[in-house]
A and B are shown apart, each in its own frame.
Chain A
Amino acid sequence: MTGHYLVLSAILFTIGGVGVLIRRNAIVIFMCVELMLNATNLAFVSFSRMHGTLDGQIIAFFVMVVAAAEVVVGLAIIMAIFRSRKSSSVDDANLLKY
């Protein structure tokens, strides 16, 4: 049964990954990153269930904590960029280059 959860996790991860690669809006990219994180959480929990241990679930909690902190910092950065450039497209923030 848990095999289906892993398939779902893989599908969600792929959607998130493709979203990160092809979307320009920073908010959307951010959501896609969250999607990928949650896909991995799902995988962790599924494996935890499969092996009958608690390790995966504990790591999932850690991921959630880190993701929450990351969201705070990430959204603050996006807000700052948006204020100065009136845009949330990641292609517009391209000054740091060769």
Chain B
Amino acid sequence: MTTLLADPQLHAQAAQGVQSAAWLLIAFPLAGAAILLLGGRRTDKWGHLLGVAMSLASFVVGVAVFVSMLGQPGTGRSRVVHLYQWVSVGSFKADMNLLIDPLSISFVLLITGVGSLIHIYSIGYMSHDPDRRRFFAYLNLFVAAMLLLVLADNYLSLYVGWEGVGLASYLLIGFWQHKPSAAAAAKKAFIVNRVGDFGLSVAIMLMFATFGSVSFQDVFGHASQASHGTITAIGLLLLLGACGKSAQLPLQSWLLDAMEGPTPVSALIHAATMVTAGVYLVVRSHAIFELSPEARLLVMIVGAATLIAGAIIGCAKDDIKKALAGSTMSQIGYMMLAAGIGKAGYVFAIAHLIAHGFFKAGLFLGAGSIMHGMNDDVDMRKFGGLRKVMPITFATFGLGYLAIIGFPGLSGWWTKDGIIDAAFEKGGTSGQILGWTALIGAGITAYYMSRVMFMTFFGERRWDEDVHPHESPQVMTIPLILLALGSIAAGAFLIAGDRFANFLAPVIGAPQVAHKLITPYTGVVFVLMVAGVAIAYVQYLRRPVPRTAPAGSFPVVAARKDLYGDALNESLLMRPGQWLTRLTVYFDSRTVDGLVNGVAAFVGGTSGRVRRLQTGYVRSYALSMFFGAALIVGALLLVRL
């Protein structure tokens, strides 16, 4: 409780100076999206330039805010920018506020920085697409929504951003909606995300019912007074939301299909930023998770299971983007695992998230550069020997590759080793299990990434005859180079000297045990990494790679089919759902309709017989009137007597 009270997140001051202009962070890309979408074809000529400018402007504001934050004392860095009162109904109040603290500004810099590079890259990548303007409008919309997500100071505003990035993701996955597969993938992503969003929305309702408020300040400040069951329920519901957005088991199935979208989208949304929103949610809500060991344990289990499942799927995919998507799942599993460990893990979760933002965005953009040169082919079996013809792509992809497998000194080594150590330091049997899972995952990571590397850039050339690979234009290679620099340096910059841990400490607390760079497991990780690379070397470099995929053993087939995730969803959810609808249709047509039709037939049939009384003979009417009158008179007499 003392640490909570010392948490400056709970009593943030009003922002001043350049920080009070932080609303411009969101306003720039939002204005860009509005102009491009409302302006229509008139903006086709310069639309992409406006999109890039708006993203860069947002980045400049982000840097200015960050610099001014560095000038403030370490514990007073949480500032609130009050924009306006959004909802005020009875006791329920929700303000549109921006919370600027070390955690949110880290995300702001990642989103706008990597986002701007991807915007620039997209100028070249989408140059032949007639709908390039619409593409940039959606990208700007995404950046605005993502910034709202990380800058919100209450769960309701966060939810707006959360849904906003979901919408942008849907629009961008289905950007080439004339392809049925892209349209289906967009729908799948949206629907699977609904399941997670449902969890988040119920969590927010539960918070309001428990605390009477949805702001971070009130919820975290009073979390310790709520019952343990309530806090655990909120934690589990938040985890459900995080699983949907971050493609964690059991809501992972949409991410691999999401690769139908243009490659810059896969880099920005489905690798660097949006899919990490779940990790942000868990770390931001650490006050809740710290009170519920059960919820935290489940976070760790989900993370560990996903990191292995994603890695296994990544091993079997021949589609370069899907192999990278499996890898994204796996790396976010690492982040989730770290976020579940607690204070010792948060900083590594966020550091790995940022490092991953650099190297995975670089890898995806590299894959896009390769596709650009290979007539949009994604089948790695038709690549091979590209290092000579695409030297810059090869170098940058290679650096991203070394970073992700955890080659000593590069980004991934600093952050991933930190996660593995934190898992072992957690202690107990669960710590051992989680630690070894993360270790084995690191070995598999080295294997599948080496496989991608060898099949794409080394070996003999297995290209189709009409393919003439070439290096991409500078507008695409310069972002690649900048991201590669991030892949090299981000990890060391963040982790060395506990720089990032000290920066984030006011928000998420400091780890109890100081992080040691070299631990007993460092060597094990390195050995497993070398083993993974060596196996891939033997399988894919020493032996020729067949152009058509071999039949494969059972595990290979399972991994190619995403470990039967879709089959599971189909048999557990889709088919019973269809049966249910069929049953209700049957019930409706037989029982409900039967009842209604039966009553109508009864009334119709009876009146068909009764109407025969209407003979048209006036005298018979007079007789019935007579009898009626006699009846009434008789009844009156009877009552009177």
Contacts and interface: CB of A to CB of B under 8 A. Distances in A.
Contacts of B622: 20-21
Contacts of A93: 616, 618
B586 interface: no
Instruction: Please classify the interface of chain B as helix (H, G, I), strand (E, B), loop, or mixed, using the class held by over half of its residues.
Output: helix
A24 B618 CA distance: 9
Contacts of B619: 20-22, 24, 90-91
Contacts of B616: 93-98
A29 B626 CA distance: 14
A72 to B, nearest CB: 20
Contacts of B612: 98
A98 B611 contact: yes
A17 interface: yes
A94 B615 contact: yes
B612 to A, nearest CB: 6
A64 B623 CA distance: 25
Nearest to A96: B616
B602 interface: no
Interface in A52-98: 90-91, 93-98
A96 B619 CA distance: 13
A23 B456 CA distance: 110
A97 B617 CA distance: 8
Interface string B379-423: 000000000000000000000000000000000000000000000
A91 B619 CA distance: 8
A29 B619 CA distance: 10
A94 B616 CA distance: 4
A93 B621 CA distance: 13
B626 A21 contact: yes
- Of the four ranges (under 10, 10 to 19, 20 to 34, 35 or more), the interface on chain A belongs to 10 to 19
Interface string A11-46: 000000100111010000100000000000000000
Instruction: Please classify the interface of chain A as helix (H, G, I), strand (E, B), loop, or mixed, using the class held by over half of its residues.
Output: loop
Nearest to A23: B619
A84 B626 CA distance: 30
B614 interface: yes
Nearest to B611: A98
B623 A94 contact: no
Nearest to B621: A90
A94 B611 contact: no
A98 B615 CA distance: 7
Interface string B609-635: 001101111110011001000000000
Given A20-B622, A21-B622, A94 B614 contact: no
Contacts of A20: 619, 622
B616 to A, nearest CB: 3
Contacts of A96: 616
A30 to B, nearest CB: 12
Contacts of A94: 615-618
A1 B40 CA distance: 104
Contacts of A97: 614-616
A97 B611 CA distance: 8
A29 to B, nearest CB: 8
A95 B626 CA distance: 22
A17 B616 CA distance: 20
Nearest to A22: B619
Nearest to B610: A98
A40 to B, nearest CB: 12
B624 to A, nearest CB: 11
A22 B617 CA distance: 12
Contacts of A22: 619
B291 to A, nearest CB: 80
A94 to B, nearest CB: 3
B85 to A, nearest CB: 71
B51 to A, nearest CB: 76
Nearest to A94: B616
Contacts of A24: 619
B617 A17 contact: no
Contacts of A21: 619, 622-623, 626
Nearest to A18: B626
Nearest to B618: A90
A17 B623 CA distance: 9
A22 B616 CA distance: 16
A39 to B, nearest CB: 14
A77 B622 CA distance: 18
Contacts of A98: 611-612, 614-616
Contact of A17 (B614, B615, B618, B626): B626
B381 to A, nearest CB: 82
Nearest to A93: B618
Nearest to A90: B618
Nearest to B613: A98
Interface string B178-190: 0000000000000
A91 B621 CA distance: 12
Nearest to A95: B616
Interface in B575-620: 611-612, 614-619
B613 to A, nearest CB: 8
A24 B617 CA distance: 10
A9 to B, nearest CB: 15
Nearest to A26: B618
Contacts of B618: 29, 90-91, 93-94
Interface in B60-81: none
Contacts of B623: 21
A74 B228 CA distance: 90
Interface in B276-313: none
A91 B611 CA distance: 19
A95 B617 CA distance: 9
A33 to B, nearest CB: 10
B621 to A, nearest CB: 10
B620 to A, nearest CB: 9
Interface in B483-530: none
Contacts of A17: 626
Contacts of A91: 617-619
A22 B626 CA distance: 12
A97 B618 CA distance: 10
A94 B623 CA distance: 16
A24 B619 CA distance: 8
Give 4 closest A-B pairs by Cβ, nearest first.
Answer: A97-B616, A94-B616, A90-B618, A98-B611
Given A91-B617, A94-B616, 7 more contacts: A91-B618, A94-B618, A95-B616, A96-B616, A97-B614, A98-B614, A98-B615
21 contacts: A17-B626, A20-B619, A21-B619, A21-B622, A21-B623, A24-B619, A29-B618, A90-B618, A90-B619, A93-B618, A94-B615, A94-B617, A94-B618, A96-B616, A97-B614, A97-B615, A97-B616, A98-B612, A98-B614, A98-B615, A98-B616
